[in-house]
Amino acid sequence: MNELHRQTRAVHPPVPQPTGSRPLGVPIYQGHLFEFEGAEALAEAFGDPYGAPFYSRLGNPTVRALEAALTDLEGGAGAVAAASGMGAINGVLQSLLRTGDHLIAQRSLYGGTYAVFEDLAARWGIEVTYVSGQDPEEVRAALRPNTKVLYLETISNPVVRVADLAALFAVSREAGVVGVVDNTFATPLLCRPLELGADIVVHSTTKFISGHGDVLGGISVYADAERHKAGWAYAVELGAIADPFAAWLTLRGLVTLPLRLERHSANALLLAGKLAAHPAVAHVHYPGLPDHPEHALASRMLSGGFGGMMAIDLVGGRAAGQTFAEAVRVAALAMSLGESKTLVSHPASTSHRMLDTDALAAAGIGAGTVRISVGIEHPDDLWADFSQALDKLS
């Protein structure tokens, strides 16, 4: 390069390629272009989710490291990292569904996913049937010749119902219907849905997997290599692909997920018991409590705890929910979940605002329901905060 002009050398600085050692952490390959020695090698890289990286929308080493990590944790054949959880969900659903298809979904699920189903129905003529998520015969009865997808959440948002994945996906698999499950609340450390019959698992990696409230991301993990390739091909054309720096931040958070999730679960179980005994709380939704309708199922299906998500129904309805959410001081009134800080929100007016009164009731969401994402703070500080906020309701 020394024979070139300085202006040219400035445009072509040396790219380090370490020899004799290797990085212990995943490097950030922030650049989006990769050079090839031959035209044929570049041509061969197209159309292969595992081919040599050439343009970061179709494959980046840092993003692939995240995909490989989640593929391993979920026990899948391949993964596609997305720019957000909704990017992952939309990429999966749009790759599987066509005009006139039929979709079965549980009633208790994330409001954004519900909004996607409504849009698919209005825009593409997709028919949607909602089921409880607990009864396999209800799913069997809902099947039609044009049914293409059964969509569930391992632990539902926001009232933490637990879907009987093995029983429900046994029905969908028998019928040739693709089983998709959102595993965000459980993470692959509490549940591995592919082992229970799911075909595709999606996550908002923004939440527990990243855990620090500083990145948006999503991922879909596929049980089958061919379905993964088809999903990847659609996702890269859709364009909702993870950014390398976002993938790196997610990998950084993943390292501490085992420790954080233990604390999330332990804090949530302790708080759920205390909240259940408080006179201002009408009901606590948490699968770790014996009176939860799926407590026995959760005890069998979840490994290592019941998670950090819960919901409470407050005496006094919507006004009580607003008062409580505004009164907390250690916890924050904020819309995300799964990060180290404790967060509270009012689903009926925020994340599930698109549901009408009947749909809210069917999903188990009341006017006084408050969703709580329990963080990793000291449990005594959290209970003192909740207790003072609840005292303001009397």
pLDDT at position 1, please?
66
pLDDT at position 207, please?
98
Gap between the Cα atoms of 304 and 257, Å rounded: 12
Q: How far is CA 310 from CA 31, 156, 270, 299, 318, in A?
A: 41, 10, 12, 16, 18
Using alpha carbons, select from 88, 73, 78 the residue that is nearest to residue 203: 88
pLDDT at position 9, please?
85
Beta bridge partners of 150: 104, 179
pLDDT at position 359, please?
76
pLDDT at position 17, please?
84
Q: What is the mean pLDDT of residues 345-371?
A: 81
pLDDT at position 28, please?
95
DSSP assignment of 24-41 equals SSPP-----B---S-HHH
Gap between the Cα atoms of 84 and 357, Å rounded: 28
pLDDT at position 284, please?
98
As given in the structure block, the two tokens for residue 12 are 């072509």
Q: Is the preceding peptide bond at 158 cis, omega within 30 degrees of 0?
A: yes
- Say which DSSP state 133 is in: S
pLDDT at position 184, please?
98
Q: Which residues contact 221 (CB under 8 A, 6 or more apart)?
A: 70, 71, 74, 76, 78, 79, 194, 200, 201, 202, 203
In the three-class reduction of DSSP (H, G, I as helix; E, B as strand; rest coil), residue 153 is classed as strand
Span of 106-110, 190-194, 348-352 with lowest mean pLDDT: 348-352
Q: Is the separation of the CB atoms in 374 and 271 below 8 Å?
A: yes
CA atoms within 13 A on the CB side of 339: 16
CA atoms within 13 A on the CB side of 287: 31
Our measurement of the distance from residue 273's CA atom to the centroid of its chain's CA atoms, rounded to an integer in Å, reads 26
Mean pLDDT of all residues belonging to the chain: 94
Using alpha carbons, select from 342, 230, 227, 207 the residue that is nearest to residue 219: 207
pLDDT, tens only, 227-267: 999 999 999 999 999 999 999 999 999 999 999 999 999 99
Using alpha carbons, select from 177, 171, 179 the residue that is nearest to residue 199: 179
DSSP assignment of 198-224 equals -SEEEE-TTTTTT-SSS---EEEEESS
Is the pLDDT reported for residue 276 higher than 90?
yes
pLDDT, tens only, 76-92: 999 999 999 999 999 99
Our measurement of the distance from residue 72's CA atom to the centroid of its chain's CA atoms, rounded to an integer in Å, reads 16
Q: What is the mean pLDDT of residues 158-179?
A: 97
pLDDT at position 47, please?
84
Using alpha carbons, select from 101, 100, 81, 102 the residue that is nearest to residue 92: 81
pLDDT at position 364, please?
81
Of residues 359 and 20, more confidence is placed in 20
Q: What is the mean pLDDT of residues 26-50?
A: 91
Q: What is the mean pLDDT of residues 117-127?
A: 95
pLDDT at position 226, please?
97
Q: What is the mean pLDDT of residues 124-144?
A: 96
pLDDT at position 241, please?
93
pLDDT, tens only, 342-356: 999 998 877 777 777
Active-site residues, by number, are: 57, 110, 182, 207
As given in the structure block, the two tokens for residue 229 are 């390739």
Percent share of the chain, pLDDT over 90? 85
Domains in the chain with CATH codes: 39-253 (3.40.640.10), 257-391 (3.90.1150.10)
Percent share of the chain, pLDDT over 70? 100
DSSP assignment of 71-128 equals HHHHT-SEEEEESSHHHHHHHHHHHH--TT-EEEEESS--HHHHHHHHHHHHHH--EE
Of residues 8 and 226, more confidence is placed in 226
Span of 108-112, 291-295, 327-331 with lowest mean pLDDT: 108-112
